[in-house]
Chains A and B, each alone.
Chain A
Amino acid sequence: MLVVKNLHASVGDKEILKGIDLTVRAGEVHAIMGPNGSGKSTLASVLSGSEKFTVTEGSAEFLGRDILSLPIEERARMGLFLGFQYPVEIPGVTMANFMKIAVNEHRKYRGEEPLTAGEFLRLMREKSAVVELDPKLTSRAVNEGFSGGEKKKNEIFQMAMLEPRLAILDETDSGLDIDALRIVATGVTRLHTEDNATVVITHYQRLLDYIVPDYVHVLYKGRIIHSGDKSLALKLEKEGYDWLINDYREE
């Protein structure tokens, strides 16, 4: 589904990603962990097509297509979803209106007819239940005045509405209390199928109690320095990153 090879990316003349290799197949859940500043969020941004970063080397294929030259919206319509670490507020634009355009753009891309008003409302109701999102929030402006927990739930709600093939969730667990964490994580798990894949970027093992990863990768200084199964996350929780990154410090 996603094949990333030797991906290098910079902001200005500062190189942040220094050769990422990552393969994600349908049905898999990957967790990317690593200390602050290791490039986790940059990897998410670069894959989704943020124009802040310049790819200087390497390749990224999604569903067999080279995506690095595609604009953000086209990658999104292909089925690549980014759950934002800091969801953006958009005053004056209601969630319902925003999602209606988004869902119908995805449908148009797949050659499907737009949803009728009734179908759309039903879909919204059904999907807001997945993350226990207060249905009233859909008539409010996008993320405006939402609490931290509501914003993150709202990300997963949008993911449920758009049914992506690959969801990259950038620290969706940060700033959540334990109830919100459970709701968000349960939502993600319920949305997981054999046809889609999830990459969760996280600092904490606790998210992985709910979302059980097939693979755990440690990103450090712009490279994946170690990969393993879910037991790696437990070991990191207990022992920290030191035993892994000592060898790389001097570089």
Chain B
Amino acid sequence: MIVEDLITASGAQPLPDNGLLAGGVYALADAGDKSLTVPGGVEASLVVVHTRQDESKLSIELLDAASLSIVVLCEAGAFAEIDIAQHGRSACRLTALMLSSGELACNASLKGREARFDMNGAFVLTGSERGRIRVDVDHLSPDCSSITLVKGVASGSSYGRFEGLVYVAPDAQRTDSQQTSRNITLGADARIETSPQLEIYADDVKCSHGATVGQIDGEQLMYMRQRGLSREQAQRLHIEGFVGDVVMHSAVESLQEQLSARVGAKLENIR
């Protein structure tokens, strides 16, 4: 149901057997291992949905000046890995949403000059779920840039984890990289750990990283309640905004409404 809705909404076409993407939107659901290539200069979008507790590995190669927007939705305990190899001047935008237990590992390797990787992700965990998002970005060539922003929400007795690693090779000069992890825990039993790391071997680089874990701000709750919202409504609206930001910048625009609905349904379970 979810899968069909998303795929219909995105207007996706079936994947070609040879794994070579022409332009347009493609969709993959619970596909196991796959290798795809975006040929030079081609612009494509890809929607990946995980609805089963399967292991999968998706390998994607972006040739020179190729551009790919990916939305990954993990709904049910999937162990998913995405490896992205980027050649010169290629651009990859990735939006990842994890709305249940599971693990998602994204590895981007920027092999050609001026490649760009831009990732926006979130996990929302409730009950006793356990989720982990790992993002490794390898800057292997000069003049590449990467942005990673992963948000986490954990409620109940759930546990979330972010692991980020930005590696800058010795000759990857003028690398521009940002890595941010922002997290909110709700209630005393929810836990989030975050570990953003940098490993830099070049000397002319601009790299920043930061992480926060906290509770919802009391002043914000007070403000919303003074306007008549109950504590629960205020809390939910705040979280909706926090995660909604990721959806609003989703890499595949036609999917925003569907993704908002999925996030909204998930937030119903927050206690």
Interface residues of A (CB under 8 A from B): 48-51, 71-73, 76-77, 81-82, 84, 87-93, 97-99, 101-102, 105-106, 109, 141, 158, 162
Contact = CB atoms under 8 A, between A and B. Distances in A.
B241 A92 contact: yes
Contacts of B242: 91-92
A250 to B, nearest CB: 36
A102 B227 contact: yes
Nearest to B243: A92
Contacts, number: 75
23 contacts: A50-B222, A51-B222, A71-B225, A72-B225, A73-B228, A76-B225, A77-B228, A84-B223, A88-B217, A90-B220, A90-B223, A90-B224, A92-B242, A92-B243, A92-B244, A92-B248, A97-B237, A98-B224, A99-B227, A102-B224, A102-B228, A109-B228, A158-B227
Interface in B219-255: 219-220, 222-231, 233, 237-238, 240-245, 248
Given A90-B238, A105-B233, A82 B226 contact: yes
Contacts of A141: 241
A106 B219 CA distance: 21
A49 to B, nearest CB: 8
A91 B223 contact: no
A43 to B, nearest CB: 15
Contacts of A88: 217, 219-220, 222-223
Contacts of A76: 225-228
A-B pairs, 5 with minimum CB distance: A92-B241, A93-B241, A88-B223, A102-B227, A105-B228
Contacts of A158: 227
Secondary structure type dominating chain B contacts: helix
A82 B241 CA distance: 23
Q: Which has the most chain A C-beta neighbours within 10 Å: B219, B223, B248?
A: B223
Given A93-B238, A105-B229, A162-B228, 14 more contacts: A48-B226, A51-B222, A71-B225, A71-B231, A76-B227, A81-B226, A87-B223, A88-B222, A90-B223, A93-B240, A93-B241, A99-B227, A101-B228, A105-B228
A134 to B, nearest CB: 20
Q: Which of A49, A71, A92, A109 has the most CB of B within 10 A?
A: A92
**Which one of A73, A77, A87 has the highest number of Cβ atoms from chain B below 10 Å of its Cβ?**
A73
Contacts of A89: 220
A91 B228 CA distance: 19
B229 A73 contact: yes
B251 to A, nearest CB: 18
